[in-house]
Structure 1
């Protein structure tokens, strides 16, 4: 993370949180998040520069991006009760919730300080609310079809990339067509990343196991659709006719069945379609080099290398 962006994140905490222990806790959350080496603020910076921007407040905008993504990550971990090594999962939940609320209030204050126009504040709320709506579908396991999954993932994950892009272009004179292109590209990128996570998690055996938690991700939806008695135990488990014992007792055989089922290949095919769509949108973007190429590099270029 750019150190100037990190400085602004700390400054926002200092501007609004004067209770020492809460102030220190929020800064520890930021330091923890920094270790992930994620690209959220880089997306904001690249979007701004590739569309011709040169705002002196760019790093403040990118700091808002990082804080919103951090807040949503904390919310996700609290809901799923995973990533126990994270600092926000190691303190009492009531304290973490207070820190989460404080972070969001700091972001609202910073957007005010940046004099973000009313129409763009409305757009901020729409993008974040879209992600929350997708998250609600995810935590309630309301997905029952591939179309449901694709929509939920675009809402939940695509909105994060939409927000990172938005913070880079909201201050510029962008056309409606350009904003629509960036939104569509962000949704594709969100799908690409989430499908990759779901392919990993379908064979994972721990508290976050998608199978154990009866989640209906893309590979699992394929697994449940197989009309073969050999795979009926998965359907029976999801229908409540079996408990999870078979998943643990026959762990190696279950993982082998998952690999043999074709569900991972199916997920890769859908992912490759998303990549092709992303490439089509990207090629149409009227954006400035080398920032346009850098945007692609930090968002989805590595996935193109995997399918070649």
Structure 2
């Protein structure tokens, strides 16, 4: 994270949190996030400049993007009870929840100071609410089909990319067609990244493995659809007939079954279709160089080079 963006986030904390220990804790969360190679602020910058923006407040808008995503990351970790090395997971849960509330108020207050109008505030809340709805579907394992998964992922993950773009164009006069293209592109990017995460998480055997939460991700939905006796233990596990320990008693054999099943290849095919659609939308997008090219490189360029 760029130092200027981090300083704006610290300043937002100072504006709204005067209790010393809570202020310090919030800043430690921001500092931890700052060590990651986060792209959210850069997406906001690229969107703004490729659409002709020159706002003197773009760094503040980008800082809001980062603060919202940090807030959602913390909530996600609290829900999943993972990432135990993170400072927000080490702090008492009640205190961490207070930091979440403080960050939400900081975001609202910052947008107010930036004189974001009611229509734009409404659109921002719609995008964030869409992500929350998708996140809830994920928590309750609502996806029982590939179509369910695709919709849920666009809501949950695509909305985060929509938000980063939105913070870049909210101060601009943009054609409805351009905004619609950015939203569709963001949904494709969200799918591309989430499918990659799902493939990675399926073949790791720690608390992050999606199997332990009985999640129905894209590769797992493929496995559950296979009519073969070898996959009966997996179906029994999802039906609650056997435990995770029984399913994974021979992790090496189970891992080999996953690799032999074709579920990862299937997921890569779906991912490549999303990449193709992203490229089609990107080609039609009317935006200025070199920012348009930087936007592509930041959001999904690595997958094109894989």
Q: TM-score range by the shorter chain?
A: over 0.9
- What is the match of residue 276 of structure 1? 276
How far residue 5 of structure 1 moved from its aligned partner, in angstroms, is: 1.2
- What is the match of residue 43 of structure 2? 43
Q: How far apart in 1 are the matches of 2:49 and 2:247?
A: 50
- What is the match of residue 202 of structure 1? 202
1:19-58 alpha-carbon deviations (Å, 9 max, x no partner): 0000000100000011111100000000000000000000
Q: How far apart in 1 are the matches of 2:92 and 2:245?
A: 32
1:228-264 alpha-carbon deviations (Å, 9 max, x no partner): 1111111011011111123332100000000100000
Q: How far apart in 1 are the matches of 2:209 and 2:170?
A: 38
Q: SS state of the match for residue 245, structure 1?
A: helix
How far residue 117 of structure 1 moved from its aligned partner, in angstroms, is: 0.9
Q: How far apart in 1 are the matches of 2:242 and 2:107?
A: 46
Task: Check conservation: 2:40, 2:66, Cα contact below 8 A.
Answer: yes
- What is the match of residue 23 of structure 1? 23
Residues 1:232 and 2:232 are matched in the alignment? yes
How far residue 134 of structure 1 moved from its aligned partner, in angstroms, is: 0.2
How far residue 292 of structure 1 moved from its aligned partner, in angstroms, is: 0.4
- What is the match of residue 189 of structure 2? 189
- What is the match of residue 69 of structure 1? 69
Q: How far apart in 2 are the matches of 1:4 and 1:91?
A: 27
Task: Check conservation: 2:233, 2:247, Cα contact below 8 A.
Answer: no
- What is the match of residue 102 of structure 2? 102
- What is the match of residue 243 of structure 2? 243
- Over the aligned positions, Cα root-mean-square deviation in angstroms equals 0.6
How far residue 151 of structure 1 moved from its aligned partner, in angstroms, is: 0.3
More off after superposition, 138-147 vs 243-252: 243-252
- What is the match of residue 32 of structure 1? 32
How far residue 207 of structure 1 moved from its aligned partner, in angstroms, is: 1.0
- What is the match of residue 138 of structure 1? 138
- What is the match of residue 300 of structure 1? 300
How far residue 305 of structure 1 moved from its aligned partner, in angstroms, is: 1.2
Residues 1:93 and 2:93 are matched in the alignment? yes
- What is the match of residue 83 of structure 1? 83
Moved over 4 A (4+): none
Task: Check conservation: 2:203, 2:255, Cα contact below 8 A.
Answer: yes
Q: How many residues align?
A: 306
TM-score (norm 2): 0.99
How far residue 14 of structure 1 moved from its aligned partner, in angstroms, is: 0.3
Q: How far apart in 1 are the matches of 2:44 and 2:218?
A: 29
How far residue 149 of structure 1 moved from its aligned partner, in angstroms, is: 0.2
Residues 1:174 and 2:193 are matched in the alignment? no
Task: Check conservation: 2:237, 2:247, Cα contact below 8 A.
Answer: no
Q: How far apart in 2 are the matches of 1:23 and 1:72?
A: 19
- What is the match of residue 213 of structure 1? 213
Task: Check conservation: 2:41, 2:63, Cα contact below 8 A.
Answer: yes
Q: How far apart in 2 are the matches of 1:248 and 1:282?
A: 42
Uncovered stretches (5+) of structure 1, i.e. residues with no partner: none
Q: SS state of the match for residue 300, structure 1?
A: helix
Aligned ranges for residues 146-165 of structure 1 at < 5 Å?
A: 146-165=146-165
